A and B are shown apart, each in its own frame.
Chain A
Amino acid sequence: MNAMIIDSTMLLLFDATLACFSMGALGALITARSPALARVVGHIGALLGAIAALTFGLGGLAGGSMQMSIPDLLPIGGAVFAVDRLSAFFVVVIAVGAIPAALYAIGYTREYAGKHSLAGMGFAFNVFVTAMILVPLARNVLSFLALWELMSLASYFLVITEHEREETLRDGWVYFVMTHAGFAALLVGFLLLARATGTMSFTEWGVAAGKLDATSRNLIFILFALGFGSKAGIIPLHVWLPRAHPAAPSHVSALMSGVMIKLGVYGLLRVAFDWLGAGPLWWGATILIVGAISGVLGVLYALVDADLKRLLAYSSVENIGIIMLGLGAAMLFQTFNLPGLAALALVAALFHTFNHAAFKSLLFMGAGAVLHATHTRNMEELGGLIKRMPQSAVFFLVGSLAIAALPPFNGFISEWLTFQSLLLSFQISAPTVNLIFALGVAALALTSGLAAACFVRAFGITFLALPRSEPAALAREVAWTMRAAMALLALACVALGVAPFVILAPLEATVSDLIGGHADMHFDWNAVVANDGFGWVAPLWIALGLLAFLMAIPLALRLMGVNKRWRYYETWGCGRALQTARFEYTATAFANPFRRVFALLYRPVKELDIEFHPESRYFVHTIVYYNEGRSVFEDTLYRPLLRLIQALARAARGLQSGNVHSYLVYILVALVALLILTV
């Protein structure tokens, strides 16, 4: 009886979600005449839909189930939706990203009024979030692919919102091509798997995949890895991320970076642990190594970028790398028959997925607030915003601390768990694998340190010291909807850092459903313990300890009678006459040590142009310093590929003679060939 009540509630929530989003989408279109109304209606619809989705997801995590199939909506099996714990978890992740994004968008999109269609944006936003929520719930090939494509299209239109700028169109185009290249890989992979197992339904694949021979499994795995990997943004398939995410409006960037790329993670999880089952060693090892490389390279690219949003986009590549480290570790543990450790690694990866959704959305919203207030993303023109936008600054600081994996925030716990699962690899006794794990530990540590450096730079240059330009000096705090959205996420970051057991319990249940064994950890409100004592941490106590000492130290000093006199004065200038923003450290300068140490990766192109005063070489008129890092991947991987494709296209042009008769002959030949092949 209880199960029936829950299940009917789940169905109700599912319908409610779809209804709210439809109302939001249609409402935005109907109120197209009034931009203010379209903005509010569209996004409130999305907000309500996301809240319903969150409830639905939480119900799914608690064990509720749902089945829905609409046979005539799509060919070959119709549209089939169902929920299990893993799908429910990802719905929760999406909802946690979408609720603040919708709230934020109400205030943020105000400045688009009159320039772009707010009705169109509202419509596309609702379609985008709906598609994202339905993807984890899809249970057959065509529903999945249709929704995947819908998600990509809706996000494409949102990315090119500011299409009056040429770079936006070009970046959107790169995104469009990359996402469809990934889609092509997915399509081939899905069709091969469907043909080999004889069914298009996901639920039957887990069992049937055992019949596949090794070559086809490997091929299918590679195709899925390419398809889902390109959506997730692993290196070298990441080139669209730093282009598309900065170009999009900030609430869309928050959703894309925080939530959409996680669906690539979802896909890989399904492939590795559900559809294809346990695979050979090289699957897990490849994912782990790819994760390590993405983590390090992602943060290295973020470190030298002066565009605040592109920095955050590269940082997403880094965090996907960390998630892949956990995922690869889990796959390797699975191969070596250590389900407890595999489950631990998966818990770490999934927890980091959730955390990243929270703090990356927060950071993008903060960057959006800065953009909204100063109209520039270039960190070299920002500064001093902590005094002009104090609350946004605090929220961005919380996001920075969380992403740098510092206690007492949520990023610390998920990275700690990832470290523990990687360190526990000593239970495997295969020297090559041990070495791979050791390098994974080193990569994760380097990533972590560099991420802290990156966000010291991002927060410090943007918000601290003096403003480096007029717009920064005139910035004002942003609308309450934007601040409320950021506050929600900041609260989540702190809450999960102090009380991670709240999310670890459903996560553990999810993972044990997937792997079939309990994770090698136990936790309660007090502490999180990995592997019965290999490592432990007590987040609540750390937070309390920090708070206690933070209050005790000033008190103790006052009791001891230290000098309480304060004086404000100028910064020490080593003898200079006045202080302007020109004396501050710049973002480029801050990254210089890294640029030099990792010059092999950045291949910087430096140009220095000094123009002297016409009368004397002792006086300098202007100095132009040009230092551009070139993207290794675009140069060595993509451009040659594009050149090859263009060469092939040029060769194929010979077929286009313009003569109708030759075209008819082509059709005849193709038809005959198809008939011969299939018969």
Chain B
Amino acid sequence: MLTEILIELLQLLIVMFGSPLLVGVIRKAKARLQGRRGASVLQPYADIRKLFLKEVVVSENTSWIFRFTPYLLGTTMLLSALIVPALTTRAPLSFMGNIIALMYLLLLGTFFLALAGLDAGSAFGGMGSSREVAVAALAEPTVLIAIFGIALRAGTTSLDGIITRFAAEPLLMLNAGHLLAFFAFFIVALAENGRLPVDNPATHLELTMIHEAMILEYSGSLLALVEWAAAMKLFLFLTLLSNLFFPWGVALTNTPGALVTAFLALAVKLLLFAGAIALVETSVAKLRLFRVPELLAGSFTVALLAVVTAFFIK
């Protein structure tokens, strides 16, 4: 019983404290690829700490929803951290939901963040909210069809079950459909987390923003929570990509040796994904806003192909 609680706590702490590091690594990798030295990988920690120490300025136009949303975002991310099998498939609270429930939990955060963007009464916030929900809505079919594709091969939609099945029978993953599902899921991860080519997280031009425009009015500890939650979301998506599609290393039992291996394996996989994202962000330009649906439609077609191959190629 105690070990179970400790394991959940460990997973939670890894997500909480690993996510700013992940963001830092991506930024550093981008900087290097662009020929700069870049800030230290620990810079996001310093940023969050600085924000927590600053005063909070809240617009007079806002309501309780504005002040509530950062806490809700943190809540949904931490709850998701309990469900996503970062280290082990035997986390005691992972029964709370399968992958579909996870997607809806993340959508809850997006819903409130979009409301908060509208709350301040600024045109930028409204614009950000409008674009964010459009991207989220158009990415939903891709996510769920990719999940369908994975679930077809694994025979279950439970995250633990998928990883256990694929780890036990790696040959199940050796087909075109699985690769297509991975590709579609990767595009969705970029879209949902506001990464190039969908959204530039480092832009200063409000009219090009999607996620950043929604959170323009936030400051102080509220902004810290929002930024942290965004980092955790990215961490969770990459963890899903790593562990669902490359399940080697994930602890199938809760022994200390397995957990340490799982931690190292996760670190390596996340590092590789961080590098991949940095590479993608450096090589492509941001898409025009109304080209993003085309990208998402393309990834949807890819996901649908993944499902169709599962039916026709047994």
Binding site for B on A (CB under 8 A): 384, 386-387, 401, 404-407, 412, 415-416, 419-420, 423, 426, 431, 434-435, 438, 441-446, 448-450, 452-453, 455-457, 459-461, 463-466, 527, 533-538, 541-542, 545-546, 549-550, 553-554, 557, 560, 562-563, 565-574, 579, 581, 583-585, 589-594, 596-597
Encode B134-158 as 1/0 by CB contact (under 8 A) with A.
1011111101110010011001111
- Distance between Cα atoms of A449 and B139 in the complex (Å): 8
Are A593 and B131 in contact, CB atoms less than 8 angstroms apart? yes
Question: Which residue, of A449, A537, A538, A546, has the highest number of chain B Cβ atoms within 10 A?
Answer: A449
Are A435 and B126 in contact, CB atoms less than 8 angstroms apart? no
Binding site secondary structure of chain A: helix
Are A549 and B74 in contact, CB atoms less than 8 angstroms apart? yes
In the complex, what residues of B have CB within 8 A of residue A464's CB?
Answer: 62-63, 65, 115, 118-119, 121
In the complex, what residues of B have CB within 8 A of residue A401's CB?
Answer: 108, 111
- Distance between Cα atoms of A426 and B148 in the complex (Å): 10
Q: With A419-B144, A535-B98 as given contacts, are A442 and B121 in contact (CB-CB < 8 Å)?
A: no
Which residue of the partner chain B has the closest CB to A557? B221
- Distance between Cα atoms of A445 and B74 in the complex (Å): 25
Q: With A545-B82, A585-B126 as given contacts, are A593 and B74 in contact (CB-CB < 8 Å)?
A: no
Tell me whether B58 is interfacial, beta carbon within 8 Å.
Answer: yes
Are B52 and A557 in contact, CB atoms less than 8 angstroms apart? yes
Closest 4 CB pairs of A and B: A585-B126, A449-B140, A449-B137, A465-B121
Distance from B168 Cβ to chain A, minimum over Cβ atoms (Å) = 15
Which residue of the partner chain B has the closest CB to A560? B52
Question: Which residue, of B136, B225, B307, B311, has the highest number of chain A Cβ atoms within 10 A?
Answer: B311
The one of B52, B141, B206 in contact with A574, judged by C-beta atoms closer than 8 angstroms, is B206
Interface contacts beyond A460-B115, A583-B121: sample of 19 additional A-B pairs, CB < 8 Å, sorted by A: A406-B107, A445-B143, A460-B118, A460-B129, A465-B118, A465-B121, A533-B161, A534-B156, A545-B93, A549-B74, A550-B71, A553-B71, A557-B221, A567-B56, A567-B57, A568-B57, A571-B60, A584-B122, A585-B125
Are A585 and B65 in contact, CB atoms less than 8 angstroms apart? no
Tell me whether B105 is interfacial, beta carbon within 8 Å.
Answer: yes
Which residue of the partner chain A has the closest CB to B64? A386
Q: B residues 287-309 with Cβ under 8 Å of A?
A: 289-290, 293, 300, 304, 307-308
What are 7 sample pairs from A and B whose C-beta atoms fall under 8 A apart? A412-B101, A449-B137, A452-B133, A465-B121, A568-B60, A571-B120, A593-B130
Are A585 and B118 in contact, CB atoms less than 8 angstroms apart? yes
Are B140 and A445 in contact, CB atoms less than 8 angstroms apart? yes
Are B55 and A563 in contact, CB atoms less than 8 angstroms apart? yes
Distance from A583 Cβ to chain B, minimum over Cβ atoms (Å) = 6
The one of A384, A406, A585, A594 in contact with B104, judged by C-beta atoms closer than 8 angstroms, is A406
- Distance between Cα atoms of A48 and B292 in the complex (Å): 54
Encode B255-267 as 1/0 by CB contact (under 8 A) with A.
0000000000000
Q: With A442-B145, A584-B121 as given contacts, are A550 and B72 in contact (CB-CB < 8 Å)?
A: yes
Are B56 and A565 in contact, CB atoms less than 8 angstroms apart? yes
Are B55 and A565 in contact, CB atoms less than 8 angstroms apart? yes
Are B311 and A562 in contact, CB atoms less than 8 angstroms apart? no
Q: With A441-B144, A554-B71, A563-B52 as given contacts, are A584 and B137 in contact (CB-CB < 8 Å)?
A: no
Which residue of the partner chain A has the closest CB to B149? A438
Are A416 and B115 in contact, CB atoms less than 8 angstroms apart? no
Q: With A407-B108, A445-B143, A563-B220 as given contacts, are A535 and B158 in contact (CB-CB < 8 Å)?
A: yes
In the complex, what residues of B have CB within 8 A of residue A453's CB?
Answer: 114, 133-134, 136-137
The one of B134, B145, B289, B307 in contact with A445, judged by C-beta atoms closer than 8 angstroms, is B145
Distance from A400 Cβ to chain B, minimum over Cβ atoms (Å) = 8
Tell me whether B54 is interfacial, beta carbon within 8 Å.
Answer: yes
The one of A386, A405, A435 in contact with B311, judged by C-beta atoms closer than 8 angstroms, is A435
Are B118 and A536 in contact, CB atoms less than 8 angstroms apart? no
Tell me whether B189 is interfacial, beta carbon within 8 Å.
Answer: no
Distance from A559 Cβ to chain B, minimum over Cβ atoms (Å) = 12
Which residue of the partner chain A has the closest CB to B76? A546
Are A431 and B312 in contact, CB atoms less than 8 angstroms apart? yes
Binding site secondary structure of chain B: helix
In the complex, what residues of A have CB within 8 A of residue B53's CB?
Answer: 562-563
Distance from B68 Cβ to chain A, minimum over Cβ atoms (Å) = 9
In the complex, what residues of A have CB within 8 A of residue B115's CB?
Answer: 456, 459-460, 464
- Distance between Cα atoms of A453 and B140 in the complex (Å): 11
Are B131 and A589 in contact, CB atoms less than 8 angstroms apart? no
Q: With A584-B123, A593-B131 as given contacts, are A546 and B65 in contact (CB-CB < 8 Å)?
A: no
Tell me whether B199 is interfacial, beta carbon within 8 Å.
Answer: no
In the complex, what residues of A have CB within 8 A of residue B293's CB?
Answer: 593, 597
In the complex, what residues of B have CB within 8 A of residue A571's CB?
Answer: 59-61, 120-122, 217
Which residue of the partner chain B has the closest CB to A400? B111
Tell me whether B96 is interfacial, beta carbon within 8 Å.
Answer: yes
- Distance between Cα atoms of A412 and B76 in the complex (Å): 15
- Distance between Cα atoms of A442 and B312 in the complex (Å): 18
Are A456 and B133 in contact, CB atoms less than 8 angstroms apart? yes
Which residue of the partner chain A has the closest CB to B140? A449
In the complex, what residues of B have CB within 8 A of residue A560's CB?
Answer: 52
Which residue of the partner chain A has the closest CB to B55? A565
- Distance between Cα atoms of A665 and B153 in the complex (Å): 74
Encode B4-38 as 1/0 by CB contact (under 8 A) with A.
00000000000000000000000000000000000
Tell me whether B190 is interfacial, beta carbon within 8 Å.
Answer: no
Q: B residues 193-225 with Cβ under 8 Å of A?
A: 206, 216-217, 220-221, 224-225
Are B52 and A562 in contact, CB atoms less than 8 angstroms apart? yes
Tell me whether B100 is interfacial, beta carbon within 8 Å.
Answer: yes
In the complex, what residues of B have CB within 8 A of residue A452's CB?
Answer: 107, 110-111, 133, 136-137
Which residue of the partner chain B has the closest CB to A549? B75
- Distance between Cα atoms of A323 and B105 in the complex (Å): 22
In the complex, what residues of A have CB within 8 A of residue B224's CB?
Answer: 562
Are A572 and B140 in contact, CB atoms less than 8 angstroms apart? no
In the complex, what residues of B have CB within 8 A of residue A581's CB?
Answer: 121
Are B59 and A568 in contact, CB atoms less than 8 angstroms apart? yes
Are A387 and B127 in contact, CB atoms less than 8 angstroms apart? no
Distance from B14 Cβ to chain A, minimum over Cβ atoms (Å) = 17
- Distance between Cα atoms of A545 and B102 in the complex (Å): 13
Are B75 and A553 in contact, CB atoms less than 8 angstroms apart? yes
Which residue of the partner chain A has the closest CB to B303? A442
Tell me whether B275 is interfacial, beta carbon within 8 Å.
Answer: no
In the complex, what residues of A have CB within 8 A of residue B107's CB?
Answer: 404, 406, 449, 452
- Distance between Cα atoms of A609 and B244 in the complex (Å): 54
Q: With A407-B105, A572-B122 as given contacts, are A566 and B55 in contact (CB-CB < 8 Å)?
A: yes
Which residue of the partner chain A has the closest CB to B293? A597
The one of A466, A527, A534, A589 in contact with B130, judged by C-beta atoms closer than 8 angstroms, is A589
Distance from A542 Cβ to chain B, minimum over Cβ atoms (Å) = 6
Are A537 and B58 in contact, CB atoms less than 8 angstroms apart? no
- Distance between Cα atoms of A317 and B141 in the complex (Å): 20
Are B104 and A405 in contact, CB atoms less than 8 angstroms apart? yes
